[in-house]
Amino acid sequence: MIRDHICATPSVQLLQHEWAKHGSCMGTTPAAYFSRSTALYRQVRYPDMRALSRRPALTVGQFAAAFASANPGMDAAMLRVTVDRRGWLDEVWLCLDTGFHTARCPAHQGGAAARARLKIWRDG
């Protein structure tokens, strides 16, 4: 199971956490849960990360808007963007409802403020 899904969920600990916290309550098998989540991962489209990385004053809000724009039916409120202490992009979370459809992220879920500066690493 882990080998089949490690490309979409990049750590064994995260796979275990996702099943324990979310999948085990959905009345399905681990295989079905992870097959569905991996299929969703494969549908995600990324904005032009190189172009975004070159913006001198990129904000989390601008990044979220660009990410949402690359994915029809999504808006920036459906994303949670986290940054490290130095302002580098750390994670992008897509909020989903129990039917695996994108949904607005709960206000209490955290993430960086839309006005926070964001840096994206690029090679070269």
How does pLDDT run across 39-59, given as a tens digit for each residue? 988 999 999 999 999 998 999
Ramachandran sector of residue 27 (left: φ over 0; alpha: ψ -120 to 50; beta: rest): left
User: From CA 112, how far away is CA 115, in angstroms rounded?
Assistant: 8
pLDDT in tens, 48-102: 999 999 998 999 999 999 999 999 999 999 999 999 999 999 999 999 887 888 9
**What pTM value is reported for the model?**
0.84
